[in-house]
Structure 1
Amino acid sequence: MNFTHYNLGQKSKGEVVEITLTNAANVRLMNYSNFSNYKNGKKHEYYGGYITKSPYKIVIPSLGTWHVTVDVEGLQRSTRSSLNVLSR
């Protein structure tokens, strides 16, 4: 599976992540264990989904180490992405 990975490191609840996409894509915000499951093709939970409007903002739900992935699995296009963590 091809995907772009952003390791956000330790983030606090309420921090905002902004993802910019050139085309619609699947965006997933996951903790470490769910990211590990995602990489291994296992069932995982995430915040986000199929994103059609850019930029897309998502709030970190709890203190921890977080990862964002961007992929176009099942879609007929490619995308480029960039990510910023916004100040509160």
Structure 2
Amino acid sequence: MNFLHYTIRSGPDTIIRVNIDRRANIRLMDELNYHKYKMKKRYSFVGGLYDPPRAELRPLRQGEWHIVVDLEGLDGDVHAFVDLLRM
């Protein structure tokens, strides 16, 4: 399983902007769901399939969050970087 992974500490007062160079799946997950994702078990997330140039996501609560960018079901490579915008 190939994916890009970013860990941040944030809350609902922050917009997480994920910049991508091609169509990709972007998922925002807490620690438990990130672990389930890696184990290929059923998990919950905020996000979905996005087109460039970016996706903007907001954490549901304060804490540590995992951002995963992957091409599950798509061919090629993706490049991404993450910005945090404080409200």
TM-score by shorter chain over 0.5: yes
Point out 4+ residue stretches in structure 1 off by more than 4 angstroms.
none
The AA in structure 2 aligned to 1:17 is I
Native 8 Å contact 1:37 1:43 kept in 2: yes
Residue 33 of structure 1 aligns to a residue whose secondary structure is helix
Deviates more, 1:75-84 or 1:16-25: 75-84
Distance in 1, Cα, partners of 2:35 & 2:26: 16
Q: Which residue does the alignment assign to 1:37?
A: 36
Deviates more, 1:17-26 or 1:74-83: 74-83
Counterpart mapping for 1:59-70 below 5 A? 59-70=58-69
Deviations 1:3-61 (A, max 9, x none): 0000013x122310000000000000000000000011111000000111422111111
Over the aligned positions, Cα root-mean-square deviation in angstroms equals 1.0
Aligned length: 87
- TM-score, normalising length: structure 1: 0.92
Deviation at 1:87, TM superposition (A): 2.0
Q: Which residue does the alignment assign to 1:8?
A: 8
Native 8 Å contact 1:14 1:61 kept in 2: no
1:75 aligns with 2:69: no
Overall identity of the aligned pairs, in %: 29
Distance in 1, Cα, partners of 2:55 & 2:11: 19
Residue 17 of structure 1 aligns to a residue whose secondary structure is strand
Any unmatched runs of 5+ in structure 2? none
Any unmatched runs of 5+ in structure 1? none
- TM-score, normalising length: structure 2: 0.93
